[in-house]
Amino acid sequence: MVELCDVVLVDVQALIRVFDETDGAVNLVSVKETGFNRLVSRIGFLKASAEEVPYVDVDEVRKSCCVVVTGGEEGCTVYWKDGEVRMPTFSSVQVDPTGAGDSFLGGLVAGLVEGLAVPDAAVLGNFFGSLTVEQIRLPDFDVRLMQVGFLVALHWVLRFIVVVHHYE
């Protein structure tokens, strides 16, 4: 995949999960302990949840790719070689967190494909993650939600520009 794609986005859970051969339990191991560690420098974005990030050396990985750490109600933090930024989440009533990380990643990817800057794409990811936790089982999205999501991300960007301009 790395050779076929311009940019590769990876959810770290695919790299750090191992199955116990005796009881089938899922355990997490450090990325450095896996065969995937050598591929990290070829990844564009690595997404990890707050629970998974202890298995990732963020300070090392951010030297070669963008790391996005989701934190549920705390929003997410985007790390890159020379900096980091915390992006707020959206107010929601959590019913079931299943799939929130996948929805976040889908929103992030959609934002990047549409040309949003990484922090703004992360806002879109937060938007879809917040919608997902309010539903049971698979999230039920329609095309209008993507349009609303882009408007929300655009509103956030414009509000941020106004605040920054005000303080300059």
The string of pLDDT tens digits covering residues 76-101 is 999 999 999 998 887 777 777 777 88
Collapse the DSSP code of 10 into the 3-class scheme (helix H, G, I; strand E, B; otherwise coil) and give the result: strand
Task: Give the domain CATH number at 68.
Answer: 3.40.1190.20
Q: What is the pLDDT of residue 167?
A: 35
Higher pLDDT, 133 or 112: 112
pLDDT per residue over 23-64, tens digit each? Answer: 989 899 999 998 888 888 889 999 999 999 999 999 999 999
Vertex 153: Cα angle to 165 and 161 (nearest 5):
5
- Catalytic positions are 102
Size (the chain), residues:
168
Q: What is the pLDDT of residue 124?
A: 86
Rounded Cα distance between 160 and 55, Å, is: 32
Q: What is the mean pLDDT of residues 138-151?
A: 61
- Indicate whether 156 belongs to any domain: yes
- Indicate whether 102 belongs to any domain: yes
Q: Are 68 and 122 in contact (CB under 8 A)?
A: yes
- Number of domains observed in the structure of the chain: 1
In the chain, alpha helices (H) = 13-16, 58-61, 100-113, 118-133, 143-167
Structural domain harbouring 78: 9-167
Vertex 26: Cα angle to 89 and 99 (nearest 5):
30
- Indicate whether 55 belongs to any domain: yes
- Indicate whether 96 belongs to any domain: yes
- Indicate whether 137 belongs to any domain: yes
- Indicate whether 2 belongs to any domain: no
- Indicate whether 52 belongs to any domain: yes
Rounded Cα distance between 50 and 33, Å, is: 19
- Indicate whether 3 belongs to any domain: no
- Binned at pLDDT 50, 70 and 90, residue 161 comes out as very low
